[in-house]
Amino acid sequence: MGRMMSSLQAGLFLQVVVVLQLLSSQAAAQGSWKLLNKNAGIAAMHAAVTHFDTVIMLDRTNIGPSAIKLPGGRCRKQPLERISKTDCFAHSVMFNPRNGGVRPLFVFTDTWCSSGQFFANGMMVQTGGDFEGNRKIRTLAPCAAGGNCDWTELKEPLAVGRWYSSNQLLPSGIRQIIVGGRAAASYEFYPKRKPGEGAFKLGMLAGTDNLYPFVYLLPNGDLFIFANRNSVQLNWGSGKVVRNYPIIPGNPRNYPSAGSAVLLPLTSQTGFGVAEVMICGGAAAGASRTGNVNAPASASCGRMVVTAGNPKWAMSNMPIRRTMGDMINLPSGDVLIINGAQNGFQGWGKANNPALNPVNYNPTTGRYQVFAKTNIPRLYHSTANLLSDGRILLAGSNTHQFYTYTGKFPTELRVEAFSPPYLQNGNRPAMTGWPRTLKYKQVFVVTFNVPARNGGVEVIMNSAPYVTHTYAQGQRQVKLKTTAPVKAGRGWSVQATAVPGATIAPPSYYIMFLVQNGIPSNGVWVKQNN
């Protein structure tokens, strides 16, 4: 009898172990969340990851006290400031995602709803804002976590005020185009192409639901520009609209409707000549005009090959409807859709029913997968950035005019990281050798170790975008031509070929990943030169 009970107990124990293993496997397949800092000092309205693996975070200045003071008793004395003309609080910080450390930065003019992009040398160029910051240009040459880099305000102004505009690095790597903004149906360049150059009109930017337009550099050097439901191909050199694209079905997609967009990976298999955009979600048509904060957000996504001879939108539906979501090119080649709300639109207190579950989209299969949810709502003025270790950094969310720590959705100062399922895979490759700089068309070798060799291997590069208001400005991913792995000592090596030119990947710093069978290594920073 004792032996029978012992066998029964052993069988039950084995069943419990199997169930626990199954639950653990299911949890790993959904990813995981980790709180990095309970109070970063500011609600990050804007965020960008530097090539030192530090993160520039910005809010706006006309918000009164933040939760972090400027160091050494320093104060900002700004007579044009609307709230605090003498302000001893920081409105920008440098964040260290490795240990959660925060260092205050000094920004002088209002950066509310501004735009930005990195230059080829890694310098952040940050443009526009509101009030006294409307025509300002600011720069920050980034540094490591222990450095003392800070913002510099330039005397040279923008040609017109830019509030809710978008920036795109051009193929030179030393010039950006700044597109749109409130009451600014135009674009301009920084630096100017010639002394006294002004702004250039672009009619499609007039109207509503067209702020923070989606702008992507195409393989031929032209720009794809999308606003509301319309899109064009612009030859920015001549100033001519080369063609108008079909109108995307459904609802408006840009601010304040707050859809999101991504340029799908450019690949060597197509000679880097095929560019496809994907645009998802947004508020219901008319929601922002009528103030309907309960209107269900859109679940629809559209894909269009914008380099095709006869481009058309191919539509699908996300498993979770979403406005104010962010779309991120993951190193696996998938797209992560994260943050936002299921009802309402962009604005102070204009949305509810947070979308707490990220969704993964596989561009090859067209399939969506729901990942593990967070318990921190990320609504208006929140950000999502890819880190070089493969995690996603989430910060911000402030649906109030000032910092407000009460109510249904208090101002959010916590910073967290989402680890996609590929970070729970025990068979992740580890890069052991790679070039620190690249020239176009360069053939180079990457060495790596991996617990078990299986499946295909590819080398990819991701840019470091400036993320704000559901749009990652300058985001792009390129998949390089990569040979089959060969044994190299105790590890492996592959031969890869850099992209053919600057219209595919403008000179800049990129995160390089080695990906085996959809599982990426930790990324490393490389500098793409001319």
CA–CA gap between residue 35 and residue 394 (Å, rounded): 10
End-to-end CA distance of the chain: 80
The three-state secondary structure class of 32 is: strand
Q: What is the mean pLDDT of residues 175-192?
A: 98
pLDDT tens column, 346-388: 999 999 999 999 999 999 999 999 999 999 999 999 999 999 9
Q: What is the pLDDT, as a whole number, of residue 6?
A: 54
Listing DSSP states for 39-93 in one string gives --SS--SEEEE-TTS-EEEE--STT---SSBPGGG--EE-TT-SS-SEE-B-SEE
pLDDT tens column, 203-252: 999 989 999 999 999 999 999 999 999 999 999 999 999 999 999 999 99
CA–CA gap between residue 329 and residue 520 (Å, rounded): 13
pLDDT tens column, 139-166: 999 999 999 999 999 999 999 999 999 9
**DSSP code for 295:** S
Global confidence as pTM:
0.94
Which domains, from first to last, does the chain contain?
428-528 (2.60.40.10)
Q: Which phi-psi region, left, alpha or beta, contains residue 250 (left: φ > 0; alpha: ψ -120 to 50)? A: left
